A and B are shown apart, each in its own frame.
Chain A
Amino acid sequence: MDTVLFIIFAVVAIVCAFNLVLQKHPISSALSLIGVMGSLAVLYLLLGAEFIAMAQMIVYGGAVMVLFVFVIMLLNAGSEKASSKSWFAQLAGLPLLCAFVAVLGFFVRAAMPVLRGVRFGTWVGGTAERIGQVLFTQYLLPFEVISILILIAILGAVVLARKEID
């Protein structure tokens, strides 16, 4: 059953990702991205990373995408218009894309260790407890640095929007 679910949600993720690129209207693209996030969360869940799956849904599916949707609604962004296609893009687009994916795949394959088969639901390191134990002892410094990152992001957001407020 796990394998079936994996295939279903992997397909959903890929279809949503394609839809994201192909759709003309930004809201459709944003919703497709939410679909991608959701199916990724399910894939994490299948792998046993429960906490990550839920965090993915809360932070990406909820917060980040709400910002996207807000910006689209606020700016009243309409459908994008197809620009005049260059003959080069039409002619060489697909072969170049294939070549790019092939090269990328080669390097990823070379950089990664030898792949092992995944058994769904056997990994138990994804619970909130395990993550907490590791995060608050071994990876304490990165965790504290995150707070500084958040602080900088807050300042950045305000500074960027400042012009609009005044």
Chain B
Amino acid sequence: MNFYIVSLIKIALVFAIFMTTLAYLQWVERKVLAHIQSRTGPLRVGPHGLMQPLADVFKLLTKEDLLPPYVSRFFYLLAPFIAVSLALIAISIIPFGPEIDVFGYRTYMQISDVNVGILFILAIAAVSVYGVALAGWSSNNKYSLLGGLRSSAQMISYELPFTLVIVSPLLLANHLSLRSIVDSQAGYYLGFIPRWSIFQIPFPQIFAFIIFMIAGFAETNRVPFDLPEAENELVAGFHTEYSSMKFACFFMAEYANMVTITCIATTLFLGGWHPLFPAPYSNWIAPLVFFVAAILCFIAGVQNVRKRDRYTFPVFGIAFLILAAIFAVPLFWQVTMPIFWFCAKVGFLLFTYIWVRGTLPRFRYDQLMKFAWTFLFPCALINLLLTALFVAVF
């Protein structure tokens, strides 16, 4: 019975954090993009626009919910349902940390460790094509159908290198369970080089990581592979005819998929929760980072010209100080350290996503398909065979 209660608590916790992350990812993306383009981004709702996600949710909920008469009604409603529900499932098998003891309860920092974890992710990715395809088809709009078709063809084309390239780190780990894959990356070469897949002997998976990230960008329909949503040629593609929360469903699914892909990348290639360097030193990184952030906030609060920021920056500074204090307590390290390192890696990869969006232009459709089939697919195969050869020989 205890197992079920502990599971439910874990699910509630992870789900709450996950949903908050999704809401604020939008804010982070707008802020980062704005600063890349020398703008300020959301600023009005709350200090530095921090209440923006909440405002967006209320706005979308109260907007007019169109159900056009020309659509295939059932499939039109089913498409966002499929998209968002599938996107929210994958988080349940991501490992965030090792086995821990909390009040004598022994549990994994993971909702569930299934034996075929990585295949489960692939199965969800395979089925989520229907959300897009159905949305495009049921809308009964030329733009939507084009966008939906393009998008689903793109998704299946990039699923192939995606599926192939995952096998290379699996050759090093020899396990399909995500927890075992992370465990196989524990330890350090020469005492300081982490045994993450991207550094692991006999064949470092750095190319596999790059191919994975490119395919991941395409799988989530992000720039530079965002053709299905190309605003200026397809007026947002498969979700042209969607409004209010149904429209937001697709966005939420996109962000959830982004988080999932970065979590998988972290798990497969970047050693999951294992820190960049050995334990006694790496434990002080987290408090140090938060302390520096706090100091920077205080300095910015003194210097800043905007009147409001004289109050908000010190508050942020104090919040960071509290975080630094929490992360500096050795008693909590078994929980805080894995979470910090996992979140740091995921956060870095998510930042890369946004960074790329702010930097790169869009592909042309024939280039996009050609790139997937005649470049990424052979590259993934070559990388796979090389890895196999090295693992077999050494």
Contact = CB atoms under 8 A, between A and B. Distances in A.
Nearest to B138: A27
Contact of B116 (A51, A66, A70, A73): A51
Interface stretch (A8-16, A57-65, A96-104): A57-65
14 contacts: A50-B114, A50-B115, A53-B116, A54-B120, A54-B123, A57-B127, A58-B119, A62-B126, A63-B156, A65-B130, A69-B137, A70-B133, A73-B148, A128-B119
Interface of B: 72, 74-75, 78, 114-116, 119-120, 122-123, 125-127, 129-130, 133-134, 136-137, 145, 148-149, 152-153, 156, 159, 163, 176
B176 A73 contact: no
Interface string A43-58: 0000000110111011
A27 B116 contact: no
Contacts of B156: 63, 66
Nearest to A38: B127
**Chain A contact residues: over half helix, strand or loop, or mixed?**
helix
Contacts of B153: 70
A34 interface: yes
A130 B233 CA distance: 50
Contacts of B134: 27, 69
A58 B166 CA distance: 15
A55 B153 CA distance: 21
A58 B123 contact: yes
Nearest to B145: A73
Given A41-B123, A54-B116, A73-B136, 4 more contacts: A57-B127, A61-B127, A69-B133, A73-B148
A61 B123 contact: yes
Given A66-B133, A73-B137, A73-B145, A127 B115 contact: yes
Nearest to A61: B127
Nearest to B126: A62
**Chain B contact residues: over half helix, strand or loop, or mixed?**
helix
A62 B145 contact: no
A63 B129 CA distance: 10
Nearest to A127: B115
Interface string A148-161: 00000000000000
Contact of A57 (B114, B123, B130): B123
Given A51-B119, A58-B119, A128-B116, A27 B126 contact: no
A61 B126 contact: yes
A53 B159 CA distance: 19
A62 B219 CA distance: 14
A54 B133 contact: no
Contacts of B137: 27, 69, 73
B131 to A, nearest CB: 12
A69 to B, nearest CB: 6
B12 to A, nearest CB: 21
A66 B129 contact: yes
A79 to B, nearest CB: 11
Contacts of A31: 75, 78, 130
A70 B163 CA distance: 21
A3 to B, nearest CB: 18
A67 to B, nearest CB: 9
B91 to A, nearest CB: 18
A61 to B, nearest CB: 5
Nearest to B74: A28
A60 to B, nearest CB: 9
A53 B119 CA distance: 10
Nearest to A57: B123
A127 B117 CA distance: 12
Contact of A54 (B122, B129, B149): B122
A51 B119 CA distance: 8
A8 to B, nearest CB: 18
B119 A54 contact: yes
Contacts of B149: 70, 73-74
A58 B122 contact: yes
